[in-house]
Amino acid sequence: MTPQATRCPTNARAQPRSHIFAARQPRDDPPRRKAGRKVRLRRGSKESSVRVGGRSSIPEDGRSQGALQSNDSQERLQEMLTDPLSGAVTGAASAVTSSSELDDILIAESPDCTWNRVNPIWEASESVSMSSGIMKALVTPSWRVLLLSDGSVTRHLQLMTDISVKVDCFDQREIKGLQGVPESVSLIPGPHIQRQVYLLNSVTQQPLVYAVSWWSAPEMKEYMQEMSQPIWVNLAARKAELFREVQRVYLGNSPELEAQFDSEGPFWARHYIFWHEGRPLTVIYEVFSNALEEYLGASRPDTQSW
């Protein structure tokens, strides 16, 4: 049984939020959309879609199904639909350490590393997403900046929405294995700490972004001095030089996040690696609420329908 997750220390909010994963209450009305719906790309009076492995996906460059028969297109489509989060995880499992060594950063210790990810209806690597205008057909410019820029998501949100963003850290635990997490987490030495947060509108307390990150425990102790602050704020305070390597971009559904965002999916998401001094510092997976459309405008072009 998964232990109840308690809240992050050091200036964390005093009252627990209702959206703590281990103690969630379902909404009175279930999410209005189901995962795995067919995705269609409208082009004039025609619609086209690609079905791979029993699941529909938007053609990666907006061309018709016939045009996707070339070897190059098939290879690119296969790359898009290969999910690095669901395959076998390489690398050794996290080393086990005594709890006393982690007392100042550990919240709930458990082999369970439950976290929320979207069920993709479309996904692509960063290189595919940046090429041939693929993203232009799927998502508007302001959202493309949010998804593919190598800048701080917290800073982007504050600049693009003109609101103050605060962190609600509701779960932080050691994980004993790497099953079910992005493969790139295996690049980070153990013991591994998993941290889950919401980025909130500080005025309305509305969740705008869900984020989960994976750290080496010693690195978290060194670089995350203020647990209640965004990662970027902590790293900027140390003047740490970073490179953000976007690994993959997703569009998908999550009934759990629909409930927590109080917003219909599908949602845009991404995962990336923060590199520091030539080594991976942390891996981060982010999901963006469609409530951001209030500030950024519509996420999809007028010609696009999910």
Task: Map out the domains of the chain as residue ranges.
Answer: 34-305
Nearest of 182, 165, 144 to residue 231 by alpha carbon: 165
pLDDT at 71 over 80: no
3-state helix, strand, coil in the chain (%, to 5): 25, 25, 45
Q: How far apart are CA 72 and CA 87, in angstroms?
A: 24
The average pLDDT across 246-272 equals 95
Helix (H) or strand (E) holding 305: strand 304-305
Task: Specify the pLDDT at position 31.
Answer: 41
- Contact criterion met (CB below 8 Å) for 252 and 35: yes
The average pLDDT across 15-31 equals 40
Q: How is domain 34-305 classified at the architecture level of CATH? A: 3-Layer(aba) Sandwich (3.40)
Question: 92 falls in which pLDDT band (50, 70, 90)?
Answer: very low
Question: 155 falls in which pLDDT band (50, 70, 90)?
Answer: confident
Q: For the chain, give the percent of residues with pLDDT over 90.
A: 30
End-to-end CA distance of the chain: give it in Å, rounded.
37
The average pLDDT across 292-302 equals 88
SS3 223: helix
Task: Specify the pLDDT at position 290.
Answer: 96
Average pLDDT, the chain: 69
